[in-house]
Amino acid sequence: MSAAPVATGLGTALVLAVQVSVAVGLAPVVAGLTRQSRARLEGRAGAGVLQPWRDLRKLVAKRPVRAAGTSWVTLVAPLALLVSSLLLAALVPLVATLAPALVPGDLFVVVSVLLLGTVALALLGLDAGSAFGGMGSSRHMMVAALVEPTVLVAVYALSIPVGSSALGLIVSARRDDPSSIASPAGVLAVVALVVVVLAETGRLPIDNPSTHLELTMIHEAMVLETSGRDLAWVELGSWLRLTVLLGLVGNLLLPWGVATTADVGAVALGVLAAVVKVSALAVLLGAAEVTMAKLRLFRVPELLAGSFVLAFLAVTASYLVA
């Protein structure tokens, strides 16, 4: 497989810095948009789109209170989740299709970084020693075991016509050949990825991000013992993962506007396109959650297995078309 475009100069490095900065600035807004759109459709006023930013500001100013008996894992895990999310923001083509020279934006690298944040969050839930934390971590890893193979197979289906597993080249190829967007393989792979995004970020129908019922929680159960700055890093890291994955889906569906060079005009257009796509998908996500109910835990594997089947069918269709 051919290699992805890499960052070879100061200009390209600056583009990646802009991409990460846009993702960090947009992540709390994405969380606010999903909450606000859901609130409006439910007949509530809502706290406002910028409420997650205000929550982060308050949490960062507070010293974390950690449960007795916790180890260094509780100290390191929130930072590991945040760092992995920042690295993910640099690897996934959100604003530009360029990839760092040291860490290429390859499919397998991106999935490994995703898994790193997933494991860090699960260890955080286990380290406190609470029953709910262990339950949430167990469920979280069960979902991850079903999600990660689907990501690999779905993006592999998209990489077959391109001849590369680099996400930047895949997005560029879909932009240059719009017919691939509506191809059977392309549609099946993107649908499978949408289900994966819902599962990976703890959204309905897999998990309910607004629930506080202990027996139904997954993400909230793992962070139940987390507070202060630790909770701020966990929340920002989780919102970053949602923002980056929504951006990836948006660029696979509508690949136009993504910068392929370090030109200022192209980067500015890429920033604008990324903000519009991610914001629109965040609003759609919030609106869709109003119409969905959370699945029973034992039905979640059936949904994720269905998404894996769609991804596998996308691979089959890619070879048949080729």
Whether 219 has a pLDDT exceeding 90, the answer reads: no
Residues 106-138: tens digit of each pLDDT = 888 999 999 999 999 999 999 988 888 999 999
Instruction: Say what the pLDDT of residue 8 is.
Output: 52
Instruction: Say what the pLDDT of residue 145 is.
Output: 92
Whether 226 has a pLDDT exceeding 70, the answer reads: yes
Instruction: Say what the pLDDT of residue 293 is.
Output: 85
Instruction: Say what the pLDDT of residue 7 is.
Output: 45
The stretch 91-108 carries a mean pLDDT of 84
Instruction: Say what the pLDDT of residue 9 is.
Output: 66
The stretch 203-232 carries a mean pLDDT of 85
Question: How far apart (Å, rounded) are the C-alpha atoms in residues 310 and 316?
Answer: 10
Instruction: Say what the pLDDT of residue 2 is.
Output: 46
The stretch 234-257 carries a mean pLDDT of 96
Spatial neighbors of 118 by CB under 8 A, at least 6 apart, are 140, 141, 144, 200
- Residues 170, 141: contact at Cβ < 8 Å? no
Whether 311 has a pLDDT exceeding 90, the answer reads: yes
Instruction: Say what the pLDDT of residue 294 is.
Output: 87
Residues 12-26: tens digit of each pLDDT = 789 999 999 999 999
Spatial neighbors of 84 by CB under 8 A, at least 6 apart, are 113, 114, 116, 117, 120, 237
Nearest Cα to 19, choosing from 252, 265, 258, 238? 258
The stretch 64-73 carries a mean pLDDT of 91
* Mean pLDDT, the chain, integer: 91
Percent of the chain with pLDDT over 90: 75
Instruction: Say what the pLDDT of residue 154 is.
Output: 94
Q: What are the percentages of helix, strand and coil residues in the chain, rounded to 5?
A: 70, 0, 25
CA-angle at 42, arms to 41 and 46, nearest 5°: 85
Percent of the chain with pLDDT over 70: 94
Instruction: Say what the pLDDT of residue 1 is.
Output: 46
Per-residue confidence at 322, pLDDT binned at 50, 70, 90?
low
The stretch 259-272 carries a mean pLDDT of 93
Instruction: Say what the pLDDT of residue 68 is.
Output: 86
For residues 2 and 158, the model is more confident at: 158
> DSSP code of 101?
S
For residues 105 and 131, the model is more confident at: 131
